Amino acid sequence: MKIHIKYMICNRCKAIVRAELDKLGIHYCMVELGEVDLREPIDTEQRRHLQARLLKCGLELMDDKKSIVIEKIKHIIIEMIHNDLEVGKVTFSELISKKMHQDYGHLSGLFSEVTGYTIEHYIILNKIERVKELLLYDELNLTEISYNLGYSSVAHLSHQFKRVTGLTPTYFKQLKLFKKRIVLENL
């Protein structure tokens, strides 16, 4: 039996979910981003307890099928951008369609309907957050960041960065604006 958990988008979240499942004695096969595969179904009381514990941690169980699809799409995008998986080697639309086993046009329409913004906008926001992170780490130069995130040029990255943040990447790096980063769960 699979259950879906909203906002579980990082390894720390997975560790929290594992700990809460263990505390409640709920056996699971795997805990992945946004999804838990349980060994056996849980009853209403166990589900209520799990929901309450997860809410205290800023996570929540999801039942709405559309929301589950949207969260899966978000996880695919986050995984691709933040773990440097195939960025630039395959298009986001191809990867999303392949991993979701559905037509991208349908998924794109559903995403826009539920969130109020496009998948492309969500991708851009995540890319810019990744650029901020990489700039703050100061391990890669702008050319390397641009290449790693699949931008066609440094100019394209810089233009998009300025449009989203109001700052150039170079100016952002100089300011070291840690507080300017957006928590991924809020995108």
DSSP 89: T
Q: What is the pLDDT of residue 177?
A: 52
Q: What SS3 state is found at 79?
A: helix
Q: What is the pLDDT of residue 60?
A: 83
pLDDT in tens, 93-113: 999 999 999 999 999 999 999
Average pLDDT rounded to a whole number, residues 54-60: 87
Confidence band for 88, pLDDT divided at 50, 70 and 90: low
CA distance 10 to 133: 15
The domain 2-63 is classified under which CATH number: 3.30.70, 3.30.700, 3.10.400, 3.30.160?
3.30.70
Is the pLDDT higher at 90 or at 171? 171
Percent of the chain residues past pLDDT 90, beyond the cut: 47
Tokens representing residue 165 in the block: 């943040």
Kindly report the pTM of this predicted structure.
0.72
CATH topology of domain 122-186: Arc Repressor Mutant, subunit A (1.10.10)
Between the two ends of the chain, the Cα-to-Cα distance in Å is 28
Average pLDDT rounded to a whole number, residues 138-158: 92
Counting Cβ atoms within 10 Å, is residue 148 exposed (0-12), middle (13-18) or buried (19+)?
middle
Q: What is the pLDDT of residue 178?
A: 53
Average pLDDT rounded to a whole number, residues 9-21: 85
